[in-house]
Amino acid sequence: MFIPTLQGQTNDEQLDEWLSLAIARGIIGTYAQTELGHGTNLKNLETTATYDPKTEEFVINSPTITAAKWWPGALGKSSNYAVVVAQLYTQGVCHGPHPFIVQLRDLETHKPLKGAA
């Protein structure tokens, strides 16, 4: 699901950057949509991605145990990136579910990055 999501949900510039890495195995990706409490019900996903204009970053948060991503293949041991599906918030307004490419592990040591749990 990682590569098909890249192929279907990115613009040309993003596709050039990420697809070549994934195909060359420079990154190993997984798809993280399903949540413990919501399965694949996109409308009710609890994970949020809130845009912070000060840092120009998205802060991704799974605020409850039921928001925990569930069954993402290869996440536990192999993947160092994930497409995380989260409810996009900007200026307090929800724009529905969107995919985000998230680095999970250090590419040299393969240890989980701070905040990626």
pTM of the model: 0.88
Residue 114 lies in a domain: no
Q: Does 89 reside within a domain?
A: yes
Residue-wise pLDDT for 5-29, tens only, equals 999 999 999 999 899 889 887 888 9
Q: Where are the alpha helices (DSSP H) in 41-110?
A: none
Strand-strand pairing, 57-61 and 48-52: antiparallel
Provide the domain limits for residue 87.
30-73+80-103
Domain membership of residue 7 (yes or no) is no
pLDDT tens digit sequence for 79-107 = 999 999 999 999 999 999 999 999 999 99
In a domain, 99, yes or no: yes
Q: Is residue 97 part of a domain?
A: yes
For 55-88, the pLDDT digits (tens) are 999 999 999 999 998 877 767 778 999 999 999 9
Q: How wide is the angle at C-alpha 81 spanned by C-alphas 76 and 86, nearest 5°? A: 95
User: Please, how many CA atoms are within 13 Å of residue 70, restricted to the half-sphere of its CB?
Assistant: 15
Contacts of residue 47, defined as CB under 8 A and 6 or more positions apart, other chains included, come to 35, 60, 61, 62, 63, 67, 69, 84, 85, 86, 87
Domain CATH for 35: 2.40.110.10
The count of C-alpha atoms lying within 13 angstroms of the C-alpha of 12, restricted to the half-sphere facing its C-beta, is 0
- Number of domains into which the chain is organized: 1
* Sign of the CA dihedral with 75 first, then 81, 87, and 93 last: positive
90, part of any domain: yes
Q: Please report whether residue 84 resides in a domain.
A: yes
* Structural domain includes residue 16: no
